[in-house]
Structure 1
Amino acid sequence: MFIHRKNAFGSLMLFSFIVAAFFSLASANAKDITLERIERTNNFVIGFRSDKHPFSAVTPSGEVDGYSIDLCKGIYESLKKNLNKPDLKLKMIEVTADNRFDYINAGTVDIICSASSWTLERQKKVSFSLLTYVTGAEMLVKDDSRIRSLKNLSGKKAGMIYGTLTSDIMTKRIKRDKLDIELVSYKYPDQGIEALENKEIDAYIADRIILIGLLDAASAPNDLKLVNRFYSYDPYALMFERQSLDFKLLVDSYLAELYRSDKSLELFNKWFSHMGIRSNENILRAMFKLQSIPE
């Protein structure tokens, strides 16, 4: 009787081992959903935001360009090589703050190339590449304003961009500190600049680099100024399907190789050097070095 139980236990262990090995092999042989789609359709589809200069924007001639767009064009070239598909097509689809996560999970786009903030909460829905930029929330005010902090905004209006990490963080902070600030949300970043210039709001709160990009296009940039105080930490990264680990490896490998080379500084000079000290060059150089992961 004792021997019978031992044999049954051994058989159960053997069965469990076989099942585990089967699923492990199946998992190892399963194709990455993003790479499989790219190979099947012969298309690499980039999702972009049209209002996130200098990361992604539409030029007056109708072209899509920006720092993040250049990164994804490099990934496109890497895909052609790694998948042995020299005729791979590149497509671009505009996304919004509302639909970008749905577009990734539905397979409408393969990657989001813009100014996307990497958070642990968002990582429950999508995956992220290595960091592409580091910034934080700041305030833009009129040049003659005496506003230097959130407390100075008591009894006043502040504009923010709808659907952003900055908007979520600042809303919670203002509520936590019980500050009497009326928040006005704008769907498009340039709407906030117009409201500030027209004195409809007293401050515009957004990621520093986005505010600088908006200043570049403002009708009277000298009438506006940054308060030079960060209110959050905002890391940017490229977004794609959460389970696509092979695709992530390809994306991260390209970025790490880029960061190890002089090409990263060429991209910095192309998109950020004109901003001078406002570009946070030292922080970005450190980011490049820290993510220069060896092969």
Structure 2
Amino acid sequence: MKKIGMILTSLLLVAGLVTGCGSTPATPDKSSSGVPTDIQAIKDRGVLKVGVKVDVPKFGYKDPKTEVVDGFEIDLAKVIAKEILGEEKIETTAVTAKTRGPLLDSGDVDLVIATFTVTEERKLSYNFSDSYFTDGVKLMVKKDAGIKSLKDLDGKKIGVAQSATSKKAIQEAADKLGAKVSFLEYSTYPEIKAALVSGRVDCFSVDGSILFGYLDDSTIILDDSFAPQDYGVASKKGNEGLAKLVNETVAKLKTSGEHDKMIQKWGLK
């Protein structure tokens, strides 16, 4: 009898587990209004939350006097917000190359539009739109340093941003040339520029469009260019409705000619 009781108890436990599993429905792809649930959540909130750069002139830059953040990527965020909300209502969060992924993961931002280079590895973690800008990794040095190319940086230190693709691109190019270079990583671009000015690094390396925002009379950007960098709008895996809308918006801007106008507005190359 004791054995039979144990068997009955086990069966009841299994039945309870099965019932419990069935009581939690899967999240529907669309809301009752037919709008994808990820987009509906933004509509209900009334604002699109976007991670942007605040230290990249012409892309995403915060004016220290007015504290206004503007640039090409800010304009792009507003266009996407208008597609969703009917108005250009965005809430921006400053991100760096190191923090933009985690902020997407946590849900603190809906999108990251922050000179985020699309790579096969990153596609495993995030949704990316088609490219809205293509650049290349370049090198900034002091005018009086006598450095003309990457080969001249043999034995030198190069400043790069944490978690950026610049380090890998330059390392691979240096290896092909037989040049030995070392790297110092910084969290922000102004920190790298300051390191170059003070002599802590011999070169500031990042995408050319970013470097142009830090060019002054004492520095030059070399002709060398490495590893084409395609920037895409990133969203969290699972937010497929949002990813589709973003990609369609980028495509629409390109076909209508508005994308070219935005590029010209900000003087991008």
TM-score range, shorter chain: 0.7 to 0.9
Partner Cα separation in structure 2 for residue 54 and residue 115 of structure 1: 11
Matches within 5 A, 1:1-295: 30-31=29-30, 32=36, 34-60=38-64, 61-81=66-86, 89-174=89-174, 179-215=179-215, 221-272=216-267, 279=269
Q: Which residue of 1 aligns with 2:7?
A: none
The structural deviation recorded for 1:188 is 1.1
Deviates more, 1:254-263 or 1:225-234: 254-263
Q: Secondary structure at the match of 2:97?
A: coil
Partner Cα separation in structure 2 for residue 170 and residue 55 of structure 1: 23
- Unaligned runs of 5+ residues in structure 1 are 1-25, 216-220, 274-278, 280-295
Would the aligned equivalents of 1:53 and 1:210 in 2 still touch at CA under 8 Å? yes
The structural deviation recorded for 1:236 is 0.6
Query: Residue by residue, what CA displacement relative to the aligned partner does 1:99-129 show, whole Å, maximum 9, x if unpaired?
Result: 3212212221110122111111001111111
The structural deviation recorded for 1:152 is 1.2
Partner Cα separation in structure 2 for residue 114 and residue 150 of structure 1: 27
Q: Which amino acid aligns with 2:60?
A: S
Deviates more, 1:165-174 or 1:71-80: 165-174
Q: Which residue of 2 aligns with 1:20?
A: none
TM-score, normalization: structure 1? 0.73
> Residues 152 and 124 (structure 1 numbering): CA distance in 2 closer, same or farther, change over 3 Å?
same
Partner Cα separation in structure 1 for residue 93 and residue 193 of structure 2: 26
Q: Cα RMSD (Å) of the superposition? A: 2.3
The structural deviation recorded for 1:254 is 1.6
Q: Which amino acid aligns with 2:259?
A: S
> How many residues of Structure 1 are paired with residues of Structure 2 in the alignment?
238
Q: Secondary structure at the match of 1:115?
A: coil
Partner Cα separation in structure 2 for residue 103 and residue 68 of structure 1: 17
Q: Which residue of 2 aligns with 1:4?
A: none
Q: Secondary structure at the match of 1:114?
A: coil
Would the aligned equivalents of 2:196 and 2:202 in 1 still touch at CA under 8 Å? yes
Deviates more, 1:234-243 or 1:117-126: 234-243
The structural deviation recorded for 1:172 is 4.8
TM-score, normalization: structure 2? 0.80
Taking only the aligned residue pairs, the percentage that are identical comes to: 24
Partner Cα separation in structure 2 for residue 89 and residue 70 of structure 1: 11
Q: Which amino acid aligns with 1:49?
A: K
Would the aligned equivalents of 1:137 and 1:205 in 2 still touch at CA under 8 Å? yes
- Unaligned runs of 5+ residues in structure 2 are 1-25, 31-35
Query: Residue by residue, what CA displacement relative to the aligned partner does 1:226-267 show, whole Å, maximum 9, x if unpaired?
Result: 111112111111111123222122112222121122322321
